[in-house]
């Protein structure tokens, strides 16, 4: 057993269903099983930098596991190793060439943790948040990672928490637009989140019986997609469901960027491909096509039972790792088992992508799904 008396938990990056269930599991395990003190770090790395720490009790986390979002708040704009210099009003400063000036302010965070007597830092995050987690680990902070993201794109874990909820919402979206598709003989295009990975669109597309699934890992030829829909039409199916991942690329390799957030470590925000695909299909097929973007609806609301259980398992396992003194590790699900892996190894992969030759793609193709390839 490591000499651990006080731990802290932080939620970073985009909010995600199951964060509160993880917080509840961490606080309860730490206090009820080990008699530890638990601090919550608010607003992700922003709070770590500014010392925004609050004590957490079992009462504070009662009744929260059914609620989406995070009681600790989050931020995806704060990389303390490359922190934009700001003026007194908080405006980002640029040099004479118009480039943002960055500072490494990570030492301030390390001092804050020391001053608060925190022996272990549990970080719920995706690849951006855990990249900083790795860097804090390299600086000697006792970090444990907990894999959070609706995108399911972290390496060395089969599933991240939040994914199950997000694909359930996306599947429901596909089920619901089917009604209008069938009633009006339309092509219904649904844009699904997932950043550079197609896991969400692939899973929801299979569950929602989509006719077409477009994912970043398989560049699509819109003419081939149109041919598939026309062939279905000729065979008597007069509506189509198209699941498009927000990061889908056409054969030129282009993906559709919604905006650039200059103040974010991961500045590219994807969005808009669904409307483009719908317009092109309408012109090529000659049927009315409509696009729906599910957006943040996929990240909000009550986590599924599966995500709540996974979150509880991860939270429990993270405290167990802390008590064993196994730092620089991330809790992970491999098969049915909770295990732990090196954060260094997870981050070195960067994004875990769908295998275009993999089983899930084969399953979808066997159902007649076109990937536009
Ligand atoms: O990583 C989770 C995610 O929801 C992605 O699927 C999406 O591309 C991105 O975050 C959106 O980020 P933001 O909420 O900052 O616009």
pLDDT tens column, 310-335 = 999 999 999 999 999 999 999 999 99
Residue 324 C-alpha to ligand 1 middle, in angstroms? 34
Residue nearest atom 16 in ligand 1 by C-alpha distance: 269
Kindly report the pTM of this predicted structure.
0.96
Q: Which domains does the chain have, with CATH numbers?
A: 6-161+303-335 (3.40.50.450), 166-299+355-366 (3.40.50.460)
How far, in Å, are 3, 27, 136, 310, 361 from residue 120 at the CA level?
10, 13, 11, 22, 40
Kindly state the tokens that stand for 11: 């939620």
Residues in the chain: 373
Residue 2 clears pLDDT 90, i.e. is over it: no
Give the C-alpha separation, 228 to 31, whole Å. 57
Kindly state the tokens that stand for 225: 């997609």
pLDDT tens column, 246-299 = 999 999 998 999 999 877 878 899 999 999 999 999 999 999 999 999 999 999
Contact (Cβ atoms closer than 8 angstroms) between residue 291 and residue 278: yes
Residue nearest atom 15 in ligand 1 by C-alpha distance: 14
How far, in Å, are 237, 281, 295, 372 from residue 173 at the CA level?
20, 20, 11, 22
Considering the chain, what is the average pLDDT of its residues? Answer: 96
Residue 310 C-alpha to ligand 1 middle, in angstroms? 21
Lining ligand 1 with CB less than 6 A are: 14, 76, 126, 149-151, 193-195, 246, 269-270, 299
Residue 41 C-alpha to ligand 1 middle, in angstroms? 21
Mutate to test the pocket of ligand 1, among 151, 169, 271 (most ligand atoms within 8 A of CB): 151
Judge whether 151 counts as a catalytic residue: yes
Catalytic entry in 15, 151, 232, 340: 151
Give the C-alpha separation, 252 to 210, whole Å. 24
């Amino acid at each position: 057993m490591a000499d651990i008396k006080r731990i802290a938990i932080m939620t970073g990056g985009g909010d995600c269903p199951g964060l509160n269930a993880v917080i509840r599991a961490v606080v309860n395990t730490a206090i009820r099983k080990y008699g530890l003190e638990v601090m919550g770090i608010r607003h992700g790395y922003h709070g770590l930098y500014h010392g925004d720490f609050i004590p957490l009790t079992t009462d504070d986390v009662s009744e929260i596991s059914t609620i989406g979002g995070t009681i600790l708040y989050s931020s995806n704009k704060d990389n303390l190793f490359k922190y934009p210099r700001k003026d007194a009003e908080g405006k980002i400063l640029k040099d004479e060439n118009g480039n943002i000036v960055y500072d490494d302010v990570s030492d301030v965070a390390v001092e804050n943790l020391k001053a608060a007597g925190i022996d272990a830092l549990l970080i719920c995050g995706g690849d951006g948040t855990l990249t900083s987690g790795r860097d804090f680990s390299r600086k000697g902070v006792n970090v444990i990672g907990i894999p959070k993201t609706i995108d399911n794109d972290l390496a060395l874990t089969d599933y991240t928490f939040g994914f199950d909820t997000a694909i359930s919402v996306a599947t429901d979206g596909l089920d619901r637009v089917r009604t209008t598709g069938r009633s009006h003989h339309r092509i219904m295009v649904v844009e699904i989140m997932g950043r550079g990975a197609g896991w969400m669109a692939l899973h929801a597309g299979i569950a929602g019986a989509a006719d077409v699934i477009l994912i970043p890992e398989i560049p699509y030829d819109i003419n081939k997609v149109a041919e598939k829909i026309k062939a279905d039409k000729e065979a008597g199916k007069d509506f189509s469901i198209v699941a498009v991942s927000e990061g889908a690329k056409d054969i030129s390799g282009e993906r559709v960027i919604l905006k650039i957030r200059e103040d974010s470590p991961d500045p590219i925000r994807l969005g808009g491909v669904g409307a483009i695909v719908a317009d092109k299909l309408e012109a090529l097929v000659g049927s009315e096509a409509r696009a729906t973007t599910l957006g943040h609806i996929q990240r909000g609301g009550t986590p599924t039972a599966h995500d709540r259980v996974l979150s509880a398992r991860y939270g429990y396992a993270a405290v167990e790792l802390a008590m064993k003194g196994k730092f620089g590790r991330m809790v992970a699900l491999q098969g049915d088992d909770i295990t732990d892996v090196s954060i260094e190894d997870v981050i070195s992969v960067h994004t875990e992508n769908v295998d275009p030759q993999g089983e899930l793609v084969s399953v979808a193709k066997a159902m007649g799904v076109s990937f536009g390839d």
